Structure 1
Amino acid sequence: LRPALAALVAHVRSGGAKRLAVERFDGVPVVESDAMILLVESGFLAGPRRAVLRP
């Protein structure tokens, strides 16, 4: 999962997208999932309902 997250972060930071928000992971809210830690470690900001990555 880490290599895929790194590719997404690189894409957003290179201007490929204005932002990327993750609200659900494997069918559950991302804030309740183990993936939230990986997202934050990758550079996403933790919000009350989602993780957001901006360039």
Structure 2
Amino acid sequence: MADITAMLHLHFEEFKTLKPETIRKNINSINQETKEHNKDFSELDAALTNHFFGKR
């Protein structure tokens, strides 16, 4: 997640004024919301995580 935080912070005007930690917290919040409210996304996320990183 540090990579996407750095990309957003360095390359997008909307994120340049925010601290990386704030961006990271916002990403975590959005990810958690999406997982809680969208069963299809949760299943896809689990399948991709399992495929690329093994079972967690």
| TM norm. shorter chain > 0.5 | no
TM-score norm. by structure 1 comes to 0.31
Q: Which has the higher strand share?
A: 1
Larger-gyration structure (1/2): 2
- More relative contact order in 1 or in 2 (CA 8 Å, sep 6+)? 1
